[in-house]
Amino acid sequence: MRYGGDNRSRLLLVILIVTSLFLITLDLRGVAVMQGARNGAQIILSPFQRGASFVFTPVGNFFSDIAHLGRTRSQLKALEDENTKLRERIFTNKSIDVEIGQLKSVLNLAGKAGYKVVNARVISQGSSTSFTQTVIIDAGTNMKITRDMTVIAGEGLVGVVKEVYPSTSLVMLASDPSFRIGIRMAETEQIGILSGQGTNHAVLQLLDSQSSVKVGDVLLARGSAGDKPFVPGVPVGYVTYVADSAGAVSARAEVQYFVHLSSLRIVAVVVKAPDADPRDTLIPPKPLPTPAPTVTVYVTPSASPSPTAEK
C-alpha cells in the first residue's frame, strides 16, 4: 500500500509540472485563451483586492502617521528651542542697550563736572547688618576704590561706598534710612540735611529757620571735607512737597531723587573730585512743557440767496 501511495504522488507531481509547462508555453505565444483567463481571474479577484485595500490601507496610513508624528514632534521641539534662544538674545540685546545708555549718561555727567571716575556694574543687591538699602558693584581695591567714595549715575547721586573687597564693593544707597547728606539749594546758598526714608523719596530739613523752599527746587551735594564721603555739585533731587512750617524751627520738605535707585545697572565711583566746585553746572534741564494742541475752526460762509427780481 505504501508503494502505491508513492506512485500516485509521483504521477500527480508529473501532471502538475506538465500542465505548468503547457500554460507557460501558451502564455509566451500570446494565446488569447490565456489572456481571457487572466482577465477572468482579475475580475474574480478584484472585489477581494478592493476589500483588502479597504481593510489594510488605514492600517498602513496609521503606521505612516506615527512615523510622521515622530518627525513633527522633533521639528516642533527644534523650533521651540530656536525661539527660546531668540528670546534670550533679544533680552540680552535690550539689557546691553540699557547699560550702554546708562554708561554714556554717567560719563557725560562726570565729564561735565570734571570728576575722575571708575565705572562699575551693579551685580547684586547688597547684604549688610548695618544697612538695608545697598548694592554690590564689580569694582574694589583692584580698581583703587576705597571707603567713603561718592557713587553716581547719569542723573546724579546714587550713594556712598561703605565696604571694599578685592574685586567688589558694598554701596549704601541714598534711600537707606541711615543715609545723610549735606545739600545746597541750587542758585542759592541755603543749606540743609537730606535723610533717606527707605524709598525713592527723602526728607529735607533746612538748617536756617529763615530759609524758604518751594516745590521744584533742585538740591545739590554740598561736598565734604577732603571730598569724602561726598564730592560737591552732584545733583541729588528736587522738592515735591513742602510741609506747613508755621511754628516750626525750620522748613521741612519731601524730595524725589533724580536717580531711580531700584533700576541701577551701571554706576561710577568718583575717585577724584575737580579742583573747583562745579556749582550749578550739573543741574539737569527742566523738561519742556508739552504744548497743548491748537484747533483752528474755519467758518465757511453760506451762499446768500439770490435776490428776487421784482415783477
Is 250 among the domain residues? yes
pLDDT at res. 54: 53
| pLDDT range class, residue 3, cuts 50, 70, 90 | low
Q: Are 192 and 245 in contact (CB under 8 A)?
A: no
pLDDT at res. 309: 46
Query: What total of structural domains would you count in the chain?
Result: 1
Is 57 among the domain residues? no
Average pLDDT over residues 277-291: 73
Cα separations in angstroms, 210 against 167, 187, 219, 247: 47, 17, 18, 12
Is 25 among the domain residues? no
pLDDT at res. 43: 60
Give the global pTM.
0.65
pLDDT tens by residue, 26-83: 555 555 555 555 555 556 545 555 555 555 455 556 556 555 666 777 777 777 777 7
| pLDDT range class, residue 288, cuts 50, 70, 90 | very low
Report the range of poorest mean pLDDT among 2-16, 89-103, 224-238.
Answer: 2-16
Is 239 among the domain residues? yes
Task: Assess whether pLDDT exceeds 50 at residue 228.
Answer: yes
Question: How are beta strands 191-196 and 180-185 bridged, if at all?
Answer: antiparallel
Is 174 among the domain residues? yes
Average pLDDT over residues 92-101: 78
- Read off the CATH number of the domain in which 250 is found: 2.40.10.340
- DSSP for 156-223, written as a single string: EEEEEEEEE-SS-EEEEETTSTT-EEEEEETTS--EEEEEE-SSSEEEEEES-TT----TT-EEEE--
Is 73 among the domain residues? no
% of the chain exceeding 70 in pLDDT: 67
pLDDT at res. 51: 54
φ/ψ (deg, to 5) at 147: -65, 155
Q: Which residue segment(s) compose the domain that 123 sits in?
A: 116-272
Is 247 among the domain residues? yes
| pLDDT range class, residue 254, cuts 50, 70, 90 | very high
Instruction: Name which residue leads in pLDDT, 214 or 248.
Output: 214
Is 145 among the domain residues? yes
Task: Assess whether pLDDT exceeds 70 at residue 297.
Answer: no
Residues 6+ apart with CB under 8 A from 205: 192, 193, 194, 195, 250, 251, 252
Average pLDDT over residues 2-31: 64
Q: Mean pLDDT of all residues in the chain?
A: 79
